Structure 1
């Protein structure tokens, strides 16, 4: 069954990655932007973060609707052999990143549902191309021999959306322990579209053509023109445990299996475009093959299939009510990236990634609660792994929020996070930067 219906795409076309590791998105609701330490907390958000803890809610039907707005700036910089700094920047905002959680709690059992953008890098638009274009012309010996130069390019549009629909059941075992099982369906789509203009030494190539007896005439220029789409579907198994010995302490645990995503890649115009713009098959194929040596571009060129699985995840969290008004939170996620299946070489050089976070809830009175938190993300990526279409940088996340109890049935929340990524440079000399400000709102209604 296809999940990528028009309605779902309308909701999720602004998703963006700022927390998590290797395609995963940790921020599944607005409360995460107030304090990322959600794994040990009991609440409706547990439909994703701590499903086994849902049995400790009061009986009833809960519906929570969230939206996040992400103001983000991504940039890459390359200093060419002449010392010129070339900047490529995307500041495309994501105004609509929704998710929904539904929980039905009755006696010792809870049923739950969650839908949102479980992974992907969202949408970006880099004006003038990407940094790999000029870098490639100076790193490929063959392109250097024929004096290939990058003139500039169109806006490069990239999209990466993983729609996740999850449902399951939680059961109380005794007065302190509970467990949960669930399945998640993941529908993934990646797109890469844009062009770049290049020149090369026409006289040298024409002489080479004549020497080889090839009846072609080069043009001295070439166009990189691509419109690539990759799609995959996968299933994740999830188990959870929760330890709740008293009203002060709660410990939540969650494990997600590796999600097999065998991507089908469709791209048909790139080789043809090189041949037509460069003046023939010989020089067109040289340019196409050399472009294919770039890890940033290769995955978008290959016809057919290739795995890029979501890794298994283990999560652990604790909440502790230190006083009547103060609740302390801590949690962590661990991503088993090195064991994840990958046919294209995307994960080569990666280490396993992790996140650690702390948080605090302070109840001012019966109506208002203040929240704050911090998270450090180590993605497992390093200078060996960064590409223009896949650079997941380590980050520091500073969060705050406020919850207002409008009535006994309705809770409203507003949250904010600033995510400061740690600027890094690839082994190819390209410097990558990111910065995101995220605003969340939610409403939770108990029927």
Structure 2
């Protein structure tokens, strides 16, 4: 009996997929001015502390402050399906070849998973003090992450292994029936409770100084201190299957079967002991008998009882082995929980340059790739994947940002920009970055119109292209897709030295279809080598998987720019 090979399922809690922050997602929405016009690298303004720090020195002398507050709502959506080719070849298992159909899947065998993320208030600020040719600057914001994403129905990577349970249970029903001496009815469906919540924060504090070389050229040098805090909580509970028309919690189901087998093993062992006692008694009588006929009869009885004792003893061992394996299997389907925090920090050097002449302003910013690790602070980890105190790489990719602004009229400006992210140089857990085909690129454009001296309106667009290749980089716990973003808003003078900024932008993400072959571990098996050596190897079931990823993003922002 090899229950532990089948009830694998439970490998289920393969929440072993790394719960790392997605390395490709950098927050560039550091100001409300950006939300209404994404091409800010070539513009001169107080939000330039982040976008164009060299250009800030061209602002008026004195203090300049920008306070920004954004409300962010996002979703992460996955349509997932998979088939088991081996089941398609066996008539009795064909109904289980698209396992998601057994737990609310669509007619095509797929299931839809949706995670929601929201940030009620995403704050940032930029401040600068300009004196003569110098500009002393500081800025703070969430340059990565910034919200809590929750999947109330779990994720496909959690469910796939659980979904194999009915088929695997049915394969073992004849063995169940034989050991227990009773009829076992087939499993027809499964269910589970699953939950995943992740929070990712990259707090960035930037300090730097810009210097005006002349009336046309300025340069900047500074650094951003990054503090990373991630928090992940997840669980899989109440793993069940419909067996014989009743929904059975499998931990309890296996436990009951194991106890029944244990009791049967005790009965068989008692029968073996009684038969052995009888065999010994008849053997003693046979040894003492002198009449050959009587001696033969007594010896025959002794042999018969001894054989019965052997059969009962062997049966008890077989049944008890089945009980032991069921007890091992029930541990695989018990409730599992993960509660992990991750922390780390790193420093990003930042360089900038700005050149203006006539109606043109040209600028560039370069952020170095930031090398650092994050450390696990594990509260609970039933998957044994997040050992407390272990460090994993979590570099921030370098950025080259280029921008230009052209003054069409005194009250009308157009802008363009280009961002290049050095993602393939940023180390990630398990060198995940090697699956990227190329680095991320962004193309930006915008326009500003001073309707009156007190009111400016603007709009902009951004095209983000990720080099995802065949999608190996993507997992259901961490994914991005290429997108278009559109924003609009206004700046209104509300006092002599105060401007109110309001803006709204949304992002339209593309669908990314990832098709791949996989194998789900369903236990272990012993394999005899040519030299006679017996090795224990994983037993797997091959699957064909499809995941379709997409997202949504909506941001509403308000802020104040104040000059002192």
Note the C-alpha offset of 1:189. Answer: 1.1
Note the C-alpha offset of 1:255. Answer: 0.5
Of 151-160 and 63-72, deviating more is 151-160
**Residues 21 and 354 in structure 1, CA contact (< 8 A), matched pair in contact too:** no
Asked if 1:33 is matched to 2:35, the reply is yes
Identify the residue that residue 436 of structure 1 maps to in structure 2.
553
Once residues 325 and 208 of structure 1 are traced to their aligned partners in structure 2, the CA distance between those partners, rounded to angstroms, is 88
Identify the residue that residue 114 of structure 1 maps to in structure 2.
139
Larger Rg: 1 or 2? 2
What TM-score, normalized by structure 1, do the two folds share? Answer: 0.82
Equivalent residue for 1:424, pick from 492, 512, 519: 512
Equivalences for residues 197-236 of structure 1 within 5 A: 197=237, 198=239, 202=254, 210=321, 216-219=327-330, 221-236=333-348
Equivalent residue for 1:384, pick from 447, 472, 478: 472
Change (3 A) 1:150 1:380: farther
Equivalent residue for 1:362, pick from 441, 449, 455: 449
Higher helix share: 2
Change (3 A) 1:263 1:365: same
Deviations 1:53-83 (A, max 9, x none): 0111111201110011112222222235144
Equivalent residue for 1:405, pick from 484, 493, 497: 493
Change (3 A) 1:369 1:135: same
Asked if 1:304 is matched to 2:390, the reply is yes
Change (3 A) 1:79 1:213: closer
Once residues 261 and 150 of structure 1 are traced to their aligned partners in structure 2, the CA distance between those partners, rounded to angstroms, is 43
Once residues 547 and 229 of structure 2 are traced to their aligned partners in structure 1, the CA distance between those partners, rounded to angstroms, is 26
SS at match of 1:364: strand
Equivalent residue for 1:317, pick from 403, 419, 428: 403
Once residues 440 and 415 of structure 1 are traced to their aligned partners in structure 2, the CA distance between those partners, rounded to angstroms, is 5
Change (3 A) 1:134 1:331: same
SS at match of 2:430: coil
Identify the residue that residue 242 of structure 1 maps to in structure 2.
354
RMSD: 3.0
**Residues 261 and 307 in structure 1, CA contact (< 8 A), matched pair in contact too:** yes
Ranges in structure 1 where 5+ consecutive residues have no aligned partner: 1-19, 272-287, 290-297
**Residues 375 and 390 in structure 2, CA contact (< 8 A), matched pair in contact too:** yes
Once residues 242 and 168 of structure 1 are traced to their aligned partners in structure 2, the CA distance between those partners, rounded to angstroms, is 15
Identify the residue that residue 175 of structure 1 maps to in structure 2.
215
What TM-score, normalized by structure 2, do the two folds share? Answer: 0.66
Asked if 1:50 is matched to 2:52, the reply is yes
Q: How many residues align?
A: 400
**Residues 187 and 234 in structure 1, CA contact (< 8 A), matched pair in contact too:** yes
Identify the residue that residue 230 of structure 2 maps to in structure 1.
190
Once residues 423 and 514 of structure 2 are traced to their aligned partners in structure 1, the CA distance between those partners, rounded to angstroms, is 19
Change (3 A) 1:305 1:399: same
Identify the residue that residue 79 of structure 2 maps to in structure 1.
77
Asked if 1:346 is matched to 2:458, the reply is no
Once residues 446 and 23 of structure 2 are traced to their aligned partners in structure 1, the CA distance between those partners, rounded to angstroms, is 20
Note the C-alpha offset of 1:254. Answer: 0.5
**Residues 398 and 422 in structure 2, CA contact (< 8 A), matched pair in contact too:** yes
Once residues 320 and 122 of structure 2 are traced to their aligned partners in structure 1, the CA distance between those partners, rounded to angstroms, is 53
Once residues 358 and 209 of structure 1 are traced to their aligned partners in structure 2, the CA distance between those partners, rounded to angstroms, is 72
Equivalent residue for 1:333, pick from 419, 431, 441: 419
Ranges in structure 2 where 5+ consecutive residues have no aligned partner: 1-21, 83-97, 173-186, 241-249, 262-317, 516-544
Change (3 A) 1:61 1:368: same
Once residues 139 and 394 of structure 1 are traced to their aligned partners in structure 2, the CA distance between those partners, rounded to angstroms, is 33
Once residues 121 and 441 of structure 1 are traced to their aligned partners in structure 2, the CA distance between those partners, rounded to angstroms, is 17
SS at match of 1:77: strand
Note the C-alpha offset of 1:234. Answer: 0.5
Change (3 A) 1:328 1:42: same
Once residues 355 and 161 of structure 2 are traced to their aligned partners in structure 1, the CA distance between those partners, rounded to angstroms, is 54
Once residues 139 and 31 of structure 1 are traced to their aligned partners in structure 2, the CA distance between those partners, rounded to angstroms, is 51
Identify the residue that residue 13 of structure 1 maps to in structure 2.
none
